[in-house]
Amino acid sequence: MPGLVSLEGRCHDSTGEADARHLRAAFEVATRARAEGNLPLVSPGRRAGNVVIEQENAGLVPSRDATAHAETVAASGPPATTSRKSWRIHLYASAEPCAMCAGAIYGPDRRVVFGLSEHDLKGLTGNHPDNPTMDLPCREVFASGQRSVEVLGPELVEEALEVFAGYWG
């Protein structure tokens, strides 16, 4: 979903203030994605330390690929200048990663911070054909694996709701 994916190299210096700042940046990216005709689901992030990437959900515009969620695209592999061993993903998303995205994110040195929960997103979308939301928290997906993934969320829920307000009717 639209958000901010932070893919970091070595440092893990996130604080409550830093998380809030990055999550608000994800909301800004989501708002821009929505204005451009895409779903307001995004993942912005940093790769190799402090290089920030912004990834919109690519499933509607331009590809129409239902699997091209922001998180799966951003987590598809480390940049050429970063080894997979040192590659960390810190993902900041406007909404909780779905089960598919949680599977793509899963691995060592992963951290997820999200605004709106999957449960609340399902409440907003209803049975909308463009977003068949599953009420399956990413924590449950991660818990079924062998690696620990840190998850913070839902966070800044009122601000997250503003991003999605009225999108699905």
Strands ordered across the beta sheet of 42-47: 51-56, 42-47, 3-8, 88-95, 110-116, 149-152
The residue with tokens 């999605």 is 164
Token representation of residue 135:
């009420």
Give residues with Cβ within 8 angstroms of 80, minimum separation 6: none
- In this structure, are strands 3-8 and 110-116 parallel, antiparallel, or unpaired? unpaired
Residue type, 20: A
Q: Are 29 and 2 in contact (CB under 8 A)?
A: yes
- 71 in catalytic set: yes
Q: What is the CA radius of gyration of the chain?
A: 14
Angle at 157 between CA 60 and CA 57, to 5 degrees: 15
| Catalytic position from the list 54, 56, 71, 118 | 71
Cite the active site residues.
Answer: 71
